[in-house]
Amino acid sequence: MLKQAIERLGNRTLQGVGRIGFAIRFFVAILLHSGTAFRRFGLTIREMYFSGVQSLIIILVSGLFVGMVLGLQGYETLQTYGSEDALGILVAMSLVRELGPVVAALLFASRAGSAITAEIGLMKATEQLSAMEMMAVDPIARVVAPRFWAGVISMPLLAALFSAMGIFGGYLVGVQLIGVDEGSFWSQMQSAVDFEQDILNGVIKSVVFGIAITTIALFEGYDAPPTAEGVSGATTRTVVTSSLAVLALDFVLTAFMFRGLS
């Protein structure tokens, strides 16, 4: 009984490690076969439309609401200390450093990541990828790499839009609704938000998230068993794994970026 359980555990661990190994090799293969994605940039643009533009609505709407909530909650807290003028700082900092990259990435994982996995998985299940190989066209270069770069480029742009909408939402609630002073809202924000420390770090985060999400989504699709259950299972795994990866990476990156900041 116990022996079997331990055996199963060992087996699962080995399988898991094996899959991570495959995923890393897959990632390297994408990088090595990225020539086509840049030489024929139209392919990448097309995928940016599918994964980026189609995530736009959900990103914009969510950003607005998150910003509005930040405005309300931030005002509540700041008001107790009599510093509601700093609302602009609070809203902008939270969005640019954390919420923008992270929430946009979570939304991107469930909107675009799952779609990528399902698409690649179905292309594999219906032998479209085999057919492409038989036509002497490398599916990694032609199908996978453009989707990868499209995701990596789209992610920081979407995060930026999310943050912009969020700041607008915070402004709507804080300034227009509650009546925080408009001048101090913007000027405090401008003087406090640092380009390198805040904006650049936020961009770096979302690029890393973009790499993680698209790699996981593409790998799950490419590795999916060629059946309906296989593809649906892979789609679910994409959302779960890439969401966890985003949150874990966020902790690691934050620890490096903002360590020892007063």
Partner 1 sequence: MQHDNLVEIEDVAFDYGARPVLKGINLTAKRGQVIAIMGSSGCGKTTLLRLIGGQIKPRQGTVRVAGESLGELNQAGLYRLRRKMGMLFQFGALFTDMTVFDNVAFQLREHSDLPEDAIRDMVLMKLHAVGLRGAAHLMPSELSGGMARRVALARAIALDPQLVMYDEPFAGLDPISLGITGNLIRRLTDTLGLTSILVTHDVHESLKIVDYVYFVSDGVIVAEGTADDIKASDLPYVHQFVHGEAEGPVTFHYPAAPYVEDLRLGGQSA
Residue number with CB closer to partner 1 (105 or 145): 145
Is 142 a binder of partner 1 (CB under 8 A)?
yes
The count of C-alpha atoms lying within 13 angstroms of the C-alpha of 117, restricted to the half-sphere facing its C-beta, is 31
Minimum Å gap between C-beta 122 and partner 1 is 8
Minimum Å gap between C-beta 57 and partner 1 is 22
Binding string, residues 80-119; x marks residues near partner 1 by CB under 8 A: ----------------------------------------
- Spell out the long-range contacts of 247-254 with Cβ–Cβ below 8 A and sequence spacing 24 or more: 247/102, 249/205, 249/208, 249/209, 249/212, 250/98, 250/101, 250/102, 250/205, 250/209, 253/201, 253/204, 253/205, 253/208, 254/97, 254/98
Residue number with CB closer to partner 1 (92 or 141): 141
How many chain residues are in contact with partner 1, going by CB under 8 A? 15
Binding string, residues 120-139; x marks residues near partner 1 by CB under 8 A: --xx--xxx-xxxxxxxxx-
- The whole-angstrom separation of Cα 45 and Cα 153 is 10
Is 7 a binder of partner 1 (CB under 8 A)?
no
Minimum Å gap between C-beta 217 and partner 1 is 17
Residue number with CB closer to partner 1 (139 or 166): 139
Residue number with CB closer to partner 1 (142 or 164): 142
Minimum Å gap between C-beta 78 and partner 1 is 50
Minimum Å gap between C-beta 234 and partner 1 is 18
Minimum Å gap between C-beta 50 and partner 1 is 9
CA distances from 102 to 36, 205, 207 (A): 30, 8, 11
Residue number with CB closer to partner 1 (133 or 182): 133
Is 54 a binder of partner 1 (CB under 8 A)?
no
- The whole-angstrom separation of Cα 255 and Cα 35 is 34
> Which residues contribute to the site for partner 1 (CB under 8 A)?
122-123, 126-128, 130-138, 142
